[in-house]
């Protein structure tokens, strides 16, 4: 039986991304979501972590990595989704 681990929300997202095989993670720095990339960078060294100039660029980098065959994620807070969806 595996031991139980208590995690905060962003720690759980980072662990879930790692366990799902994410190899590229991008985000625009800003709380509350900035802890996700920091956690990935600190604990899961095989994940390439990149801070992006805005949320749209984070999505574009993650999409490019995905098109190249890597499992990727872009994290952002809810208002960042407005920036990411700007045409």
Domain for residue 2, yes or no? no
Instruction: Give the model's confidence band at 30: pLDDT under 50 very low, under 70 low, under 90 confident, else very high.
Output: confident
Question: Once rounded to an integer, what is the mean pLDDT over residues 16-39?
Answer: 92
Residue 2 has a pLDDT of: 82
Within 8 A by CB and 6+ apart from 67, the residues are none
The DSSP symbol for 24 reads E
Q: What is the pTM for the complete model shown? A: 0.85
Domain, as residue range, for 59: 9-84
Q: What is the CATH number of the domain that holds 53?
A: 3.40.50.970
Question: Once rounded to an integer, what is the mean pLDDT over residues 41-45?
Answer: 94
What three-state secondary structure class fits 74?
strand
Residue 86 has a pLDDT of: 76
Domain for residue 22, yes or no? yes
Residue 84 has a pLDDT of: 79
Higher pLDDT, 63 or 83: 63
DSSP 26-61: EE---TTTHHHHHHHHHH-TTSEEEE-SSHHHHHHH
């Amino acid at each position: 039986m595996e031991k139980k681990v208590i995690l905060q929300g962003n720690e759980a997202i980072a662990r879930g991304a790692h366990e799902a095989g994410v190899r590229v993670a991008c985000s625009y720095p800003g709380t509350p979501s900035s802890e996700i990339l920091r956690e990935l960078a600190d604990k899961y060294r095989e994940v390439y972590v990149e801070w992006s100039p805005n949320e749209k660029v984070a999505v574009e980098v993650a999409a490019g990595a995905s098109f190249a065959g890597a499992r990727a994620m872009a994290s952002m807070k809810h208002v960042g989704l407005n920036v990411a969806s700007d045409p």
